[in-house]
Structure 1
């Protein structure tokens, strides 16, 4: 099956979802990654003495390294980092919908409504991906994605939370993707690509937040128990 992850920034795919992505690729699924910005406006650039453009170029290279480590097909766009809330959301929705049409994923993945953090780009991305998913379902009869999943942390279970991370209530979680040691090692290799963020990775240890599995909310789905993967209960239509 095919999964499409849509996130606003380089490293979003590695700060949590990476072990699930590694498992999905290992199991033979195709994974595409759409990153909406180059992430150049990060405050980390000041420590490195880089302009927004220079930092964006560095982070684009790093996210390509991470995608290669994970085995995902990457597309990086150049919407303004930190400025998604100021755009016409229809412009973002149109681009995401076109990507869905091109990739034809079975599953689309993005952040839950709170974005796991206070960053407005995360919150905007949740909203525009949901709209694009619904539009694709309306327009792509017989070829539309069959599941929308929101990567999340679990409320009240965030370990050592200096960044003020947010989560979703445990009862909203519809899938928990556990992973093997080799998937964690792949995720660590992806994280290691972010040399400009090495201090951030060291300080926050993002993979600690998903040690018991990567949690996802499943849009408009209810299950008695969380599914074990994002492709469970989806029959391959060939």
Structure 2
């Protein structure tokens, strides 16, 4: 069993509604797996924000459509707005270079994420797991940048700092039919598995349907199949004997 850092804060229940901020690099990242969990959170009354760092214009799909990077980015941005509306969240989409996050000064990205955390004051911040769930370098950059921004916010936002950092992941050894080479985290590293209702799944499917330019990709990979038993998350510097069933449960006290 891999060694894991100790819990830094004492868990305590937080009975009121909370704010969550999902930060992902591309349009569709919020829907290719996390969607039903987001739908559950908004259905329960939580305030969910999605920050997308790029418009996703560099996707190879643009060649089939005869679109430039900028044109494709505008199409994808509209699809993302449709998807996040279907899930019930609030979207902010930026225009950092799709496929080029690793070439940027990471401090520029960190600054943007830190400012968003300050503006939203989320209780929970969510991004990709350390392995990015795939080989895409933008996913790896997003993980590193968001983790740094979260830690900085915990130091700087006295009384308003985030209470939890969660990494969306799949479960190692439990990924079905894996043509895309998806990666997962060991089951003993999973801190939360969020189940969802039929209505939440339907909202997730409606979000995926917004990505008309990715229809073939969605049909081929069926991303919600990978989360049929719940959406899994690793919780940064938290450990429980059994996974939580919600990202809003047992939030630790502010440091």
Q: Same fold (TM over 0.5)?
A: yes
Give the Å deviation of 1:236.
9.8
- Tell me which of 22, 35, 46 is aligned to 1:29: 46
How far apart, in 2, do the equivalents of 1:19 and 1:84 lie? 27
Q: Which runs of 5+ in 1 are unaligned?
A: none
- Secondary structure of 1:162's match? coil
Residue 20 of structure 1 pairs with residue 42 of structure 2: no
Greater RCO between the two (CA within 8 Å, min separation 6)?
Answer: 2
Residue pairs, 1:149-188, within 5 angstroms: 149-188=166-205
- Tell me which of 43, 63, 74 is aligned to 2:60: 43
How many residues align structurally? Answer: 237
Question: When the two structures are superposed, what TM-score results if normalisation uses the length of structure 1?
Answer: 0.98
- Secondary structure of 1:102's match? helix
Equivalent residues of 2:163, 2:252 under 8 A apart: no
- Tell me which of 158, 161, 164 is aligned to 1:144: 161
How far apart, in 2, do the equivalents of 1:112 and 1:76 lie? 21
Q: CA RMSD in A?
A: 1.1
Give the Å deviation of 1:8.
0.1
Deviation by residue 1:128-180 (Cα, 9 ceiling, x = unmatched):
00000000000001100000000000011100000000000000000000000
Residue 52 of structure 1 pairs with residue 69 of structure 2: yes
Task: Spell out structure 1 runs of 4+ moving beyond 6 A.
Answer: none
Question: When the two structures are superposed, what TM-score results if normalisation uses the length of structure 2?
Answer: 0.92
How far apart, in 2, do the equivalents of 1:235 and 1:115 lie? 25
* Paired position in structure 2 for 1:101: 118
1:197–1:145 CA distance, 2 compared to 1 (3 A):
same
* Paired position in structure 1 for 2:206: 189
- Secondary structure of 1:230's match? coil
Deviation by residue 1:183-214 (Cα, 9 ceiling, x = unmatched):
00000000000000000000000000000000
How far apart, in 2, do the equivalents of 1:72 and 1:120 lie? 26
How far apart, in 1, do the equivalents of 2:129 and 2:243 lie? 16
How far apart, in 1, do the equivalents of 2:49 and 2:226 lie? 23
* Paired position in structure 2 for 1:221: 238
Q: Which runs of 5+ in 2 are unaligned?
A: 1-17
Give the Å deviation of 1:234.
2.3
